[in-house]
Amino acid sequence: MERYQGSQFDVVLVDYDLDDGKGDTFVRWLRAFDAAAKLVAVSARTSGNAALVAAGATTVCAKIDFARIEAVIREIA
């Protein structure tokens, strides 16, 4: 969250399991002040991606499908 503040991103890739917490906490925090942010859930687990989407992620690109990330980003751009 500290690194995001004061920065500008076109798209944010968010994993569910982070070193300092869970990604859905970050997504809810970001949505509180930036409803238009483009967030891609990128967890390896279906349950992690579901939690990220429930928190407000725009779309999903599971790690197993990461070869598609460019197409996923273009879809939400």
User: What per-residue confidence (pLDDT) applies to 56?
Assistant: 98
Say what the pTM is.
Answer: 0.93
User: What per-residue confidence (pLDDT) applies to 51?
Assistant: 98
Query: What tokens does 29 get?
Result: 């925090």
What would the mean pLDDT of 35-60 be, rounded to a whole number?
97
First to last CA, the chain: 23
* Partner residues linked to 11 by β-bridges: none
Cα separation, 45 vs 11, whole angstroms? 21
User: What per-residue confidence (pLDDT) applies to 10?
Assistant: 93
Cα separation, 37 vs 44, whole angstroms? 22
User: What per-residue confidence (pLDDT) applies to 2?
Assistant: 80
Asked if residue 4 has pLDDT above 90, the reply is: no
